[in-house]
Structure formats: structure tokens, C-alpha cells
Amino acid sequence: MKNILILTLFFFLAIPGIILADPSEIGLKAGFTGNTIGGTNVSVINQFSMAGYSLGVFGDLGLSDFLAFQPEACFTVKGDYGLSPNFAYTPDNVDEFRYYLEFPMLLKAKILTVGELKLNGLVGPYFAFLIQTQNFLTPYLDNSPSFNKFDTGVVFGASVELDNFVLDGRWEGGLTSFYNGVFAGTAAQNVHNVTNETFIISLGYKFFQL
């Protein structure tokens, strides 16, 4: 946890010096996540969608008239319906949340401008650090030992800007497994490639310009 806090502080302090760009802006964002599971083991794991949320800060650092760098730091809730011991959905399954500190590093391409309205494309990697998990079958039970502490993947999306407001829709696809192969409360399971797949829609507001 200490390393995560240090990394977050470094991120915030580094934003102004990442690129000497004009214009450069900083904003806040909040939204909802829709979560499913991907990977080669997906056939033996439920694929039911589950809702979460995301809160964070983002930068908009101009590189040219066409491109910008958009670094972000977000608290993001992902998850699935709790896996049964045989990794199949049953009526007894319950919600299982994973809480991440996530750092998307995105390239923003300006596609279309109509008056004050701007349409942008977004692409880049994300890097996430697991803070805690919560399985509601046993209230407040932290199953973190069953999960990998680091997750990374790719982001594809689009945003619409009007004045200082930003409406953002994106898909995140994990490239690393969030399970470490051992399911809490059962014997070791042969599950090594189960990835996060998340759709996020959020609303942001740019409140500071460098």
C-alpha cells in the first residue's frame, strides 16, 4: 500500500513536467463500469456482467494541433459474480469486487470539430495495482491472496468535449490474468489466464489550465 501511495503522489507531481505543452489542462472524472471476464479459461468461468464505478483525475497535454497525451490516475472498481468452487455460475454465487488504483496512459487524436464540439479517439495502455477484493458471501472478507497484485491491458475509446466538459466511453481489455491460480477456500485450481474486460463511461470536467 505504501508503494502505491508513493506512486500516486509521484504521478500527480510529475504531470506538469511530463510535457511542456500548450495548452495543458487537468480535470476530474467520475463514471460507471460494466465488467465481464475474458481469457482462455473464460469457458469455465461465468461471463455475467457486473457494474462498478470509477473516480479519478486526468491530464490533457497538447502535443500538436491533432494529438494530445492524456495520463490518468483512477480508483476503479471491477469484478464478477463470485466464482463457485467448480468455476461455474450457480444461484448461490455472489458479487465479488476488485478495487484497483489504475493509471491509463492514453494518446488522444482529435477526429472532428464542429463549433465548440470536439470528437476524439483514445488509445493506449493501462497499468493497475490491486488494493483489495471483497466477496459478499462472507461480508468484508478480503480474498486478495487469490489475486495478482498487478494488472495491465489496452484501452480503446472515444470522447466528446464541449467547453470544459468531457464525455468519455472506452473499453479496457486485460493482458494479464487477475487470478493467480489459487481460488480462496478451495484446493488449487488450474486457472492462469482470466482477464478483466471492462467498459467505462464517465463524465469529466477540466478545471485547471497550465
Residues 5-64: pLDDT tens digits? 555 555 544 555 544 455 789 999 999 999 888 776 555 455 557 889 999 999 999 998
Pairing type for strands 50-62 and 195-209 reads: unpaired
Contact 120, 60 (CB under 8 A): no
Burial class (CB in 10 A: 0-12, 13-18, 19+), 178: buried
Question: Residue 147 and residue 179: Cα distance in Å, rounded?
Answer: 4
Q: What is the mean pLDDT of the chain?
A: 79
Task: Catalogue all structural domains in the chain, each as residue range(s) with its CATH number.
Answer: 27-209 (2.40.160.20)
Element spanning 183, H or E: none
Question: Is the confidence at residue 154, as pLDDT, over 70?
Answer: yes
Identify which of 39-43, 95-99, 171-175 has the greatest average pLDDT: 171-175
Please report which confidence band the pLDDT of residue 93 belongs to, taking 50, 70 and 90 as the band edges: low
**Which amino acid type is present at position 38?**
G
Residue with cell 466511453: 169
